[in-house]
Every structure is written in C-alpha cells, then in structure tokens.
Amino acid sequence: GAVVSQHPSRVICKSGTSVKIECRSLDFQATTMFWYRQFPKQSLMLMATSNEGSKATYEQGVEKDKFLINHASLTLSTLTVTSAHPEDSSFYICSAHPQGVTDTQYFGPGTRLTVL
Amino acid sequence: QKEVEQNSGPLSVPEGAIASLNCTYSDRGSQSFFWYRQYSGKSPELIMFIYSNGDKEDGRFTAQLNKASQYVSLLIRDSQPSDSATYLCAVNGGGSYIPTFGRGTSLIVHP
C-alpha cells in the first residue's frame, strides 16, 4: 500500500518551454501533497504544500508564478514549471500525506528535469 | 527556525557491523520522527517512524528516541552493502504537519 507515482520520470526540454509533472497517489487519498526539489548531493528542499481544492502554500523564495501547482483531486497534484531555464534542471519529487493517517508521507519516484 | 541536524558523513562500516546514525532536532514540541533511505538518483523511501521515547525495532532496523535530549537515532544491524545510501531524518510536530528534513548521512557498507 501507500504507492505514489510520478510522470514523467525523466524529461529533457528546451529553454523557455513549460513542463508539467503529475503526482498520483495510487491506493489512497491524499489530503496533502508536497513538492520538493533536490540538486545533486544536496538535501531535499520543500517548494510548496498543496491541499486538495485550495491554493498551494509556497516556501519562501519559491516563485509561485513559475512553479504552478494544482491539486484538483484527492489523488492528483500537478507541478508545472513555466518558461523553464537551465537553472531549473533538478530532481523534482512529490510526496503524499494519506487522509486520516498521522502525518506520515510517502514519496513518489521523482522526475529528473533537464533544461537545455 | 526549526532545525534538524545530521552528520553528513560518510559513515563507513564493514559488512556485518552495526551502523549507528544520529539526528538532533531543535524544536522541543516535535512529536513525530521519521527515517528515510535514499539511494543515489532515487527518491526517499520511508524506513521507520517513531513517536514515543525508547526503542522501536523492525527487522534489522532500530529507531531510538530521546525527547529529553532531543535526539533520534537509527541502528542498522548486520549491515549489508545494499544498505549503502543516504539516510534522512525528518521531524514533525510543534504545531506543524510539515516535516523538517535533515541534510542526510551518507552510509557506506564495505565488503
């Protein structure tokens, strides 16, 4: 149980394009989903917290107009990197907090984004 | 500012030995404590969680929590080369359900 999927697993795009990453909880409903970014050999950096049906809460320094988050249902959240640039190249990981379960979260497999 | 501190390592242990990973946290109101394992290029995987003072065992893994001293540790018995990874400590609580992650400790188990 507690499986979280992400799609795509890897994406390469040209500078200036937008990329959408999907995060799905496959066997549970997620009250809250988190989006993280991780650069090589660095720790996880929380970008934003999204709750189903409401606006995402962004961490300080994260541009909400650049990283659009939509949490339309209890099993799906999307992150769109708009007008991507090479410095946005990173490993993006989502995690989901099961509804009704004490604060445990489960991570998706991550999406490796490379912007040329 | 809630902080979770871990020694970045690497911690190198021989195969079959006990690996001991430590984590300290700053927020005395913290209530939930998690250990994740992250292989290179992969996302974190939940290993254990602990809420109460004392030890919690699951197979070769034992989590130890001491709220008075504000530390949580993870022991890995009979370490295997496949245990080589980065271990992340995460702490919740004190009025927030958003976890604070440590930077992780790199563990190397050599044959």
The per-residue pLDDT for range B63-83, each reduced to its tens digit, is 999 999 999 999 999 999 999
Q: Is the pLDDT of residue A109 over 80?
A: yes
**For A33-61, what is each residue's pLDDT tens digit?**
999 999 988 888 999 999 888 889 999 99
Give yes or no for residue A100 having a pLDDT over 90. Answer: no
Cβ contact A94:A77 at 8 Å: yes
Residues of B in contact with A102 (CB under 8 A): 32, 51
Cβ contacts of residue A103 below 8 Å, gap of 6+?
Answer: A97, B32, B92, B93, B97, B99
- Chain B residues whose C-beta sits inside 8 Å of any chain A C-beta: 32, 34, 36, 41-46, 49, 51, 88, 92-93, 97-99, 101-104
A106–B99 C-beta distance less than 8 A: no
* Residue in A with minimal Cα distance to B34: A104
Q: List the single residue in A with minimal CA-CA distance to B35.
A: A104
Distance from CA of B40 to the nearest CA of A (A): 9
Interface test with B, best of A39, A51, A103, A111 (most B CBs within 10 A): A103
Band the pLDDT of B96: cuts 50, 70, 90: low
pLDDT at A42: 85
Using a CB-CB distance cutoff of 8 angstroms, which residues of chain A are in contact with residue B98?
34, 46, 49
On the 0-12 / 13-18 / 19+ scale of CB atoms within 10 A, B40 is: exposed
Mean pLDDT of B7-22: 95
Of A62, A65, A71, nearest in space to A90 by CA: A62
